[in-house]
Chain A
């Protein structure tokens, strides 16, 4: 089960991971974007971190929605509305629960993915965060259906995310600022796909 305390430590771990990887994400974004992804994600989760105490009394849905609103109002760029929508849809799906079954965890990730696709209109293969979130959600759904434990399912999903990130390297970007590079976007790892992987890894870390 994913308990409320796991969700809280996941959110906190997101901040740590994005602080550790701030320069790395920005460096990836310098190659094919506008060199701000690490800074923007860090600014957003730092704001979440500062408001962390206010999340303690909330249920899982309310925690995730609150994170969403903070990201929407502090990240900016394209990542703000996209990650904001991701957490908002997750929170809406989670509702007022205090713990989630593995199946419900897969369901909230599915809801988050669909929200991102609705807001950004990206499909798999466009070299975006959807290229990580799609295999992650499919992997989670497959494993919980097969009756694997939450930790096993998320371990598998982290592997799927890693592969998803690597698979963005040869792709030509079709959405966002990298799309202006056309062929020149080949050979570069997508920063948004990378931050999506980091957020999943943070969830894995919160379960150990």
Chain B
């Protein structure tokens, strides 16, 4: 294992100390337990947007704390969900009196820990909703698996919902927007190489020098197939066409029912993209792939979306939801309306995303 680290056990704390030193104007790191809030404290009267997940995906989520995006983030151990006490403390620290929306990526651990955290915060009298993000189309069925994973859409959703919170959306309206954006977004990833978590020192999965994995998850979860490496055009076409031609997807996701005062399962069906749809296109690096290669992907992707009659109205290109040093990329296409585009364009000022201010 070759990494710029000291002791593996100290990696999370030391990297957070670095973030604090670099971005003291934007954020404040709490160490016992770990969570990151905005430097200015809670924003009065606005819904607090909180997210979190395993570390190793930087800049997500800690790098998205700041004006126009998240109010707090909870980093777990590398590739391991954070714990309910962290999320509970983060919710208390971020709540400005208008409630908390937890953005939860669909992984078994994340979902269970955020549920327990929401229960703890509600016991304190804080109004909390959890919206689960599941946009990874490489997972076909939800009946015999834990369902589609939360990947690229998460970044776009945190930006758009962050702007909506600044604009004064209440918890119900913000939750509805978050749910719709999740249903509007579809992603697929691929990997050329594996990655090594500091705690293990060994590759998370084995992949041959001449192989690639199509449909990989952000922790190296297996995808659709293992194949011999192909050209960027062929890989991009395979991914983009799969996203565009993805069939309607139905599954049940848990949300809190404020009337019944319990978790309820809500059945949701995502409709496929269609000709004339406006989309935000997001080409993301898994960490080890250079931005130059992402432009190679973007070139082919834009040709294909054009052929299908999709209109790319905005784009994002770069490493935003990564898997340590893994080489590979993901593509996300998210259908948006004019209000969502306005929210996308609204000012954002975080370590990971900055514009318009």
Interaction A to B: yes
Chain A interface residues (CB < 8 Å from chain B)? 26, 30, 34-36, 39-40, 43, 72-82, 84, 119-120, 172, 174-177, 179-182, 184
Decide if B317 is an interface residue (CB 8 Å cutoff).
no
Inter-chain contact B81/A78, CB cutoff 8 Å: yes
Given A36-B77, A36-B79, A36-B199, does the pair A177, B107 have CB atoms closer than 8 Å?
yes
Inter-chain contact A26/B200, CB cutoff 8 Å: yes
CA distance A138 to B211 in the complex (A): 47
Decide if B227 is an interface residue (CB 8 Å cutoff).
no
Inter-chain contact B84/A72, CB cutoff 8 Å: yes
Inter-chain contact A40/B84, CB cutoff 8 Å: no
CA distance A141 to B135 in the complex (A): 44
Query: A119 contacts which chain B residues (CB < 8 A)?
Result: 112
Decide if B332 is an interface residue (CB 8 Å cutoff).
no
Inter-chain contact B84/A73, CB cutoff 8 Å: yes
CA distance A82 to B108 in the complex (A): 10
CA distance A40 to B197 in the complex (A): 13
Inter-chain contact A80/B81, CB cutoff 8 Å: yes
CA distance A26 to B204 in the complex (A): 11
Task: Map CB proximity to A onto B161-201 as digits: 1 under 8 Å, 0 otherwise.
Answer: 00000000000000000000000000000000000010110
Given A73-B84, A82-B112, A175-B146, does the pair A34, B220 have CB atoms closer than 8 Å?
yes
Inter-chain contact A30/B217, CB cutoff 8 Å: no
Out of A26, A78, A184, which one reaches B222, CB within 8 Å?
A184
Inter-chain contact B77/A174, CB cutoff 8 Å: no
Inter-chain contact A74/B83, CB cutoff 8 Å: yes
Decide if B59 is an interface residue (CB 8 Å cutoff).
no
Inter-chain contact A72/B85, CB cutoff 8 Å: yes
Query: B160 contacts which chain A residues (CB < 8 A)?
Result: none
Decide if B96 is an interface residue (CB 8 Å cutoff).
no
- Please report whether the interface of chain B is mostly helix, strand, loop or mixed according to DSSP: loop
Query: A177 contacts which chain B residues (CB < 8 A)?
Result: 107-108, 146, 219, 221
Inter-chain contact B144/A182, CB cutoff 8 Å: yes
A11 to chain B, nearest CB (A): 19
Query: A120 contacts which chain B residues (CB < 8 A)?
Result: 108, 112
Out of B83, B112, B115, B145, which one reaches A73, CB within 8 Å?
B83
CA distance A30 to B195 in the complex (A): 12
Query: B85 contacts which chain A residues (CB < 8 A)?
Result: 72-73
Task: Map CB proximity to A onto B194-229 as digits: 1 under 8 Å, 0 otherwise.
Answer: 000101101011000000000001011110000000
Given A175-B108, A176-B108, does the pair A30, B202 have CB atoms closer than 8 Å?
yes
Query: B199 contacts which chain A residues (CB < 8 A)?
Result: 36, 39
B13 to chain A, nearest CB (A): 14
Out of B86, B200, B222, which one reaches A39, CB within 8 Å?
B200
5 residue pairs, one from A and one from B, having the closest CB atoms = A78-B109, A179-B145, A81-B112, A77-B109, A73-B85
Out of B80, B113, B222, which one reaches A180, CB within 8 Å?
B222
CA distance A43 to B83 in the complex (A): 13
A169 to chain B, nearest CB (A): 18
Inter-chain contact B76/A76, CB cutoff 8 Å: yes
Out of B77, B200, B221, B222, which one reaches A76, CB within 8 Å?
B77
Inter-chain contact B145/A77, CB cutoff 8 Å: no
Decide if B33 is an interface residue (CB 8 Å cutoff).
yes
Inter-chain contact A76/B82, CB cutoff 8 Å: yes
Given A175-B146, A180-B222, does the pair A75, B83 have CB atoms closer than 8 Å?
yes
Decide if B336 is an interface residue (CB 8 Å cutoff).
no
Inter-chain contact A36/B80, CB cutoff 8 Å: yes
Query: A76 contacts which chain B residues (CB < 8 A)?
Result: 54, 76-77, 80-83, 109, 113
CA distance A81 to B114 in the complex (A): 10
Inter-chain contact A81/B77, CB cutoff 8 Å: no
Query: A74 contacts which chain B residues (CB < 8 A)?
Result: 83
Query: B126 contacts which chain A residues (CB < 8 A)?
Result: none
Decide if B244 is an interface residue (CB 8 Å cutoff).
no
A202 to chain B, nearest CB (A): 23
B9 to chain A, nearest CB (A): 9
CA distance A74 to B84 in the complex (A): 9
Inter-chain contact A80/B109, CB cutoff 8 Å: yes
CA distance A182 to B225 in the complex (A): 12
CA distance A175 to B54 in the complex (A): 19
Query: B86 contacts which chain A residues (CB < 8 A)?
Result: 73
B266 to chain A, nearest CB (A): 15
For this complex, 28 residue pairs linking A to B, each with C-beta atoms less than 8 Å apart, are A35-B200, A39-B200, A40-B77, A40-B80, A72-B116, A73-B84, A74-B83, A76-B76, A76-B81, A76-B113, A78-B107, A78-B109, A79-B109, A80-B84, A81-B109, A81-B112, A81-B115, A82-B112, A119-B112, A175-B108, A176-B108, A177-B108, A177-B146, A180-B145, A180-B221, A180-B222, A181-B222, A182-B145
Known: A176-B108, A180-B146. 20 other contacts (CB 8 A): A34-B79, A34-B204, A34-B219, A36-B197, A36-B200, A39-B200, A73-B33, A73-B83, A76-B82, A76-B109, A77-B81, A77-B109, A78-B107, A78-B109, A80-B109, A80-B113, A81-B116, A177-B219, A179-B145, A180-B149
Query: A172 contacts which chain B residues (CB < 8 A)?
Result: 144
Decide if B139 is an interface residue (CB 8 Å cutoff).
yes
**Chain B, range 44-85, C-beta contacts under 8 Å to A:** 54, 76-85
CA distance A47 to B222 in the complex (A): 32
